[in-house]
Amino acid sequence: MADRTSVRAGSRRPQRYLPLQILLGFLVIYFLVPFWWIIVNSSKDAPGLFGGGNTLWFTDRIDYLGNLEQLFTYDGGIYLRWILNSTLYAIAGGIGATVLAVMAGYGFAKYRFAARRFSFAVVLGALMVPATALVIPTFIMFSRLGMTNTIWAVILPSLLNPFGVYLMHVYARDAVPDELLDAARVDGAGELRTFLQIALPMMRPAVVTVLLLSAVASWNNYFLPLAMLSDNRLFPVTVGLGLWQGIASANNSGSTSLWSLIILGSLVSVIPLIVAFFSLQRHWRGGLSVGGLR
Amino acid sequence: MTVLTEQREPRTQPETRKIRGKVHLREHLMGWFFVGPFGIVFLAFLIAPLGYALYLSLFQKKLIGGTSFVLFDNYVKAFTDPSFLSGAWFVIRFSLVSIPVQIALALAMALILDAVTTLFARFSRLMIFLPYAIPTVIGAVMWGFLYSKGFGPLTDIFGLFGTTAPDFLGSNLIFYGLLNVVTWQWAGYYMIILYSALQGIDPTLYEAARMDGAGRWQIATRIKIPLIAPALILILVFSLIGTLQFFNEPQILRYLAAGTIGTDFTPNMYAYQQAFGLANFNYGSAISFALGGVVFICVYAFLFFTRKRRSFL
C-alpha cells in the first residue's frame, strides 16, 4: 500500500482542483466547529460563559490555567482519577484484547485444527451480536460473583474483540507466506518462536491497528462502565463527565461552575486520543485497509 | 452464518501430508493453543451472557408468587409494548436516513481526497477523521452545548437574520440534531476506510480507462466505486449494527432535552431503564434479545438485498 501511494505521488504532480478544495475547506470547518467552540469556551469563567457574549469567540479574560486548576482540584481531584481510570481501562483492555486477537487470528489462518471452520464461523457471527445486548446479562453474572463495581468488571469484558480476530485472520492469511513459516520450521525453530520472530513482525501494521481500535473502544466505552460501576472513584472519564452533565442540567442555577468544568474536562479528555492517533498514523492506516478490501 | 464464511484452506505441504498422524495432532494442539485464550474469553463474555440473557428472558418476576417460567411471554409483551415498538421504529427510521447520509458523505469525501493530492487535502483528511478519536459521549456533550440556547451560537447566528434559532433539542428537530451528531462522529471514520480502499486500487486501471476515453466522473463511478464495493458493504453493515443499538448520544442529550428524549427513546435505552432503573432484569434481557433479533433480521435482509453475501467477509 505504502509503495503504491508513493509511486502515485511521485510520478505525477499534485492534483489541485480548486473547487473541490474549497468544498473540502467547508467540510473541515464543519468538522472542526465543535472543537473550536470547546477550545474557546474552555478559556472562559462562569460569568464569561453565561454573560451572553459571542459564543464562538474569546472574552477579554482568557483563563485556561485558572480553569485547569479548578478542574483538577474539584471534588478532591476526582477528574484526574477518571482520566487515570480511563487510561488503565484503555491500556489493559487494549493490550489484552490485542494479544488474544493476534494469537487467535494467526491460529485460524495458519493451523488446520479440529472445529476450525465452525469456530471461525461462530466468531464471524459474533460480529452481528449487539455488544450492548451483552451488558445486562454480564452485569448479573458479575454481580453473582460479587465483582461488579471493580475494575475487572470493566476490563475483562473489553478483552473480547471478534472484529480484531477477523482483521488479524485476513492479514495473517495474506501477508505471512506459509513457505516462510515452513522454512523456519525446517531450520528448527519451534512453533512459538516461528510466531514471535517470523510472523509477528510481518503482521505489525494490523497489530497496531487492532491495538488502537481496541484501546479506543475501551476509552470510549460508556454503557458497560455505566452499568457496572457505582463508585464514582472507579468511573472512566466518559461516565464521569456524563455524571457531571446530569448534575449540572438537573440543577441549572446552582452549578454554573460545573458547566465550565465539563467543557474544559471534555477538551482535556480528548487530547490523549488525538495525540495517539496522529502519532501512530503511519502504522494503523495500512492495517485498516485490510478489513475493507476483502 | 455459513454464508459469511468463505475462506481458503491453509496450505499444507505435500511432504507433511505423508506423515499425517503426527503432524495432525501437532496442528490441532498448536491451533488450539493460539485460538484457545480468545476462545475462553469468547465463551465467558459472549456465549455465556447470551445464553444467560435468553434464560432470564424466559422468566417473570412478580411481587406475589416470585419468579416463574413464562416461556415467550416477555417477548409477546415486548412486541406489543408501545415503548419498545416506538423505540424500534425510531432506530429503524433513523438508520434508513442516517446511514445513507453518512455513507454518501464519506464516499464523496473519500473520492475527493483520492483525486486531490495537495497538502491541504492531506490536512483535511486528518481533520475530517478527527471526530472518530472523540468518545461518542464527549461528541454528544459538545454538540449539546452547540445546540443549547444558553451556550450555543445558533441564537446569535439566527438573530443576525432576525429569526429565531431552530431548537435541535426540541421534539420536532431532535431527529436532525442526532443525525448531525452521528454524521459528524462517524463520517470521517468511514471516509478513512473507503479512502484506504481507493488507495489500494491499481492506478494503471485509470490510465487504461483514460486511453479508452473515460472522463474523471466516469472513472469514479465506473471503476472506483465498483472496486470498493466490498468496503462499502462492510461499513454499511457495521453502521447498521451500531445505529440499531443507538444509546450513548440520546442518553447524554437526554439531560439537555429532558422533555424530548424519554427513557424509552431507543430499545437499548428502554432495556437499560428496565434493568437498571426498575431492576426488571427479566424484561430487560428480553428487550435486549428482541433488539438482537431485529439487528440480525435487518443485517441479513440487507445482505440478501445487496446480493453480496458471498463476497462479504
For residues A109 and A227, membership in a common domain is answered with: yes
What mean pLDDT value characterizes chain A?
81
Which of A5, A18, A23, A24 is the best substitution to test chain B (most B C-beta atoms within 10 A)? Answer: A24
For residues B120 and B241, membership in a common domain is answered with: yes
For residues A72 and A23, membership in a common domain is answered with: no
Smallest Cβ–Cβ distance between B291 and the set A33, A130, A274 belongs to: A130
Q: How many domains does chain A have?
A: 2
Output the pLDDT for position B173: 84
Smallest Cβ–Cβ distance between A136 and the set B28, B133, B275 belongs to: B275
In a domain, A181, yes or no: yes
User: How confident is the model over A221-244, as a mean pLDDT?
Assistant: 89
What cell does B303 get? 445482505
**Interchain pair A134, B46: CB under 8 A:** yes
For residues B79 and B48, membership in a common domain is answered with: no
What cell does A201 get? 513482525
Q: What are phi and psi of B48, to 5 degrees?
A: -60, -50
**Domain holding A252: CATH number?**
1.10.3720.10
Classify residue B139 by its DSSP letter: H
Smallest Cβ–Cβ distance between A106 and the set B4, B34, B132 belongs to: B34
For residues A44 and A73, membership in a common domain is answered with: no
What cell does B91 get? 432506530
| Residue A83's pLDDT band (cuts 50, 70, 90) | very high
d(CA B227, CA B155): 45
Residue at A208: amino acid letter: V
For residues A235 and A106, membership in a common domain is answered with: yes
What cell does A242 get? 456524563
Smallest Cβ–Cβ distance between A245 and the set B11, B255, B281 belongs to: B255
Which of the residue ranges A4-18, A82-96, B248-262 has the most confident prediction, judged by mean pLDDT? A82-96
Classify residue B200 by its DSSP letter: T
User: How confident is the model over A62-87, as a mean pLDDT?
Assistant: 84
C-alpha pair distances (Å), A176 with each of A81, A180, A206, A281, B51: 42, 8, 12, 23, 37
Above 50 in pLDDT, residue B226?
yes
Output the pLDDT for position B98: 92
Length of chain A: 294
In a domain, B77, yes or no: yes
Nearest to B150 by CA among B138, B126, B167: B167
In a domain, A54, yes or no: yes
Span B161-219, pLDDT tens digits = 877 777 888 878 888 889 999 999 999 889 988 888 888 788 888 888 888 888 888 88
Output the pLDDT for position A38: 86
For residues B129 and B264, membership in a common domain is answered with: yes
Output the pLDDT for position A84: 92
Span A179-228, pLDDT tens digits = 888 888 888 888 888 888 888 888 888 888 888 888 888 888 888 899 89
DSSP string, chain A: -HHHHHHHHHHSPPP--HHHHHHHHHHHHHHHHHHHHHHHHTT--HHHHHS---TTS--S---HHHHHHHHHHGGGTHHHHHHHHHHHHHHHHHHHHHHHHHHHHHHHHH---TTHHHHHHHHHHHTTS-GGGGHHHHHHHHHHTT-TTSHHHHHTGGG--HHHHHHHHHHHHHHS-HHHHHHHHHTT--HHHIIIIIIHHHTHHHHHHHHHHHHHHHHH--HHHHHH---TTS--HHHHHHHHHHHHHHTTTTTHHHHHHHHHHHHHHHHHHHHHHHHTHHHHHHHHHHHHH-
Output the pLDDT for position B64: 67
Above 50 in pLDDT, residue B19?
no
Above 50 in pLDDT, residue B3?
no
Above 80 in pLDDT, residue A138?
yes
Output the pLDDT for position A22: 87
**Domain holding B249: CATH number?**
1.10.3720.10
Greater model confidence, B140 or A292:
B140
For residues B105 and B217, membership in a common domain is answered with: yes
What mean pLDDT value characterizes chain B?
81
User: How confident is the model over A116-134, as a mean pLDDT?
Assistant: 80
What is the pTM (predicted TM-score) of this model?
0.82
Output the pLDDT for position B14: 47
A177–chain B nearest CA distance, Å: 10
Smallest Cβ–Cβ distance between B46 and the set A129, A222, A278 belongs to: A129
Output the pLDDT for position A132: 67
| Residue B227's pLDDT band (cuts 50, 70, 90) | confident
In a domain, B313, yes or no: no
For residues B152 and B217, membership in a common domain is answered with: yes
The CB density around residue B156, as the number of other CB atoms within 10 Å, is 14
For residues B250 and B152, membership in a common domain is answered with: yes
Above 50 in pLDDT, residue B230?
yes
In a domain, B67, yes or no: no
For residues A274 and A161, membership in a common domain is answered with: yes
Span B237-263, pLDDT tens digits = 888 888 888 888 888 888 777 678 888
Output the pLDDT for position A235: 92
In a domain, B62, yes or no: no
Output the pLDDT for position A4: 43
Name the closest residue on chain B to residue A273, using Cα atoms. Answer: B133
Span B35-73, pLDDT tens digits = 899 999 999 988 898 888 888 888 877 766 677 777 788
Contacts of B271 in chain A (CB under 8 A): 132-133, 136
For residues A158 and A266, membership in a common domain is answered with: yes
Output the pLDDT for position A11: 44
Looking at A23-32, A285-294, B30-39, which range is the least confident one? A285-294
Structural domain including B19 reads 2-56
Residue at A60: amino acid letter: D
A188–chain B nearest CA distance, Å: 15
**Interchain pair A222, B48: CB under 8 A:** no
Output the pLDDT for position B166: 79
In a domain, A230, yes or no: yes
User: How confident is the model over B282-310, as a mean pLDDT?
Assistant: 78
In a domain, A14, yes or no: no
For residues B34 and B167, membership in a common domain is answered with: no
Contacts of A20 in chain B (CB under 8 A): 112, 115-116
Output the pLDDT for position A13: 58
Contacts of B4 in chain A (CB under 8 A): 121, 124-125
Above 80 in pLDDT, residue A25?
yes
**Interchain pair B199, A20: CB under 8 A:** no
Output the pLDDT for position A285: 64
Sign of CA dihedral A258, A259, A263, A264: negative
C-beta of residue A243 within 8 angstroms of C-beta of residue A235: yes
Span A157-179, pLDDT tens digits = 999 988 888 888 888 888 888 88
Output the pLDDT for position A5: 43
| Residue A9's pLDDT band (cuts 50, 70, 90) | very low
Structural domain including A72 reads 64-293
Which of the residue ranges A180-189, A254-263, B303-312 has the most confident prediction, judged by mean pLDDT? A180-189
In a domain, B312, yes or no: no
Output the pLDDT for position B105: 93
In a domain, B30, yes or no: yes
Q: How many domains does chain B have?
A: 2
